[in-house]
């Protein structure tokens, strides 16, 4: 069965500093990978996705992620964090269950931004 | 991207009562919708897959008689929490998969349910 691990539950960075959020997945086939962001009390917004091709994918809000098959990782990065980036970030892998296509989410990483 | 709405955004109910949550796909027809549950500071857990015109598919451990799902039209799915108890208090989120885009889903803003 597929699984997603986000090792860091909380991360605090200073505004303007760089950011990397870790994501490791377990899936037997070629993974479809996603990063979503959730602001307090809100639904999820898609930041970026990887299906195939270039392993470095660009997303919205200045985020990027790199797929590394050898490490089973899909880490999210941003060169300069803004205070508005404070939120919960979820990595997810696409898989198939008896109902069809589904997403399996990691536990999430809460990002706090210091002024 | 797709626009998905949920109503209500926040609801408080008394223990033993039932609550209905609506999920609407505003700009395209959805034969499938997903319902998730998210406890505070936790991840999303898939509860069930809602299928237009047929029965929902529930994930293991989810009580189908407690969480009733109806997908009566291509733009509306409802989740009814029956005989709610305080432990049902949670954030309920629906999503709509995009046709032709494997696994990609667009999420509603969520409904916060508090059972007193």
- For B10-67, write each residue's pLDDT tens digit: 999 999 999 999 999 998 788 899 999 998 888 899 999 998 888 999 999 999 999 9
Preferred mutation among B35, B103, B107 to probe A, highest tally of A CBs within 10 A: B103
- Give A12 or B3, the one with higher predicted confidence: A12
The predicted-structure confidence for B71-102, as pLDDT tens digits, reads as follows: 989 999 999 999 999 999 999 999 998 876 56
CA atoms within 13 A on the CB side of B111: 27
CA separation, residue B95 to residues A23, B2, B20, B42, B112 (Å): 22, 10, 16, 18, 15
| C-alpha dihedral sign at A40, B93, B19, B5 | positive
In the prediction, which pLDDT does A49 show? Answer: 93
CA angle B28, B30, B35 (to 5 degrees): 125
Q: How far apart are CA B111 and CA B97, in angstroms?
A: 19
Chain B residue nearest residue A106, CA to CA:
B43
In the prediction, which pLDDT does A97 show? Answer: 64
Interface size between A and B, measured as CB pairs under 8 A: 61
Q: How far apart are CA A47 and CA A63, in angstroms?
A: 7
């Amino acid at each position: 069965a597929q699984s997603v691990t986000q090792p860091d539950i909380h991360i605090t960075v200073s505004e303007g500093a760089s950011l990397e959020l870790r994501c490791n997945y377990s899936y037997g086939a070629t993974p479809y990978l996603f990063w979503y962001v959730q602001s307090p009390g809100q639904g999820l917004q898609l930041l970026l996705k990887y299906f195939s091709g270039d392993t470095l994918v660009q997303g919205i809000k200045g985020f990027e992620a790199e797929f590394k098959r050898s490490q089973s990782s899909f880490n999210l990065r941003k060169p300069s964090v803004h205070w508005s980036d404070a939120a919960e970030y979820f990595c997810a892998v696409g898989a198939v269950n008896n109902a069809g296509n589904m997403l399996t989410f990691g536990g999430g990483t809460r990002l706090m931004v210091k002024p | 991207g797709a626009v998905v709405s949920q109503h209500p955004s926040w609801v408080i109910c008394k223990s033993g009562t039932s609550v209905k949550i609506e999920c609407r796909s505003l700009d395209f027809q959805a034969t499938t919708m997903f319902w998730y549950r998210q406890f505070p500071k936790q991840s999303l857990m898939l509860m069930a897959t809602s299928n237009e015109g047929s029965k929902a598919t529930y994930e293991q451990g989810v009580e189908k008689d407690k969480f009733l799902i109806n997908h009566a039209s291509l733009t509306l799915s409802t989740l009814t929490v029956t005989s709610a108890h305080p432990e049902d208090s949670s954030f309920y989120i629906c999503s709509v998969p995009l046709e032709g885009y494997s696994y990609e889903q667009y999420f509603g803003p969520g409904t916060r349910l508090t059972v007193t």
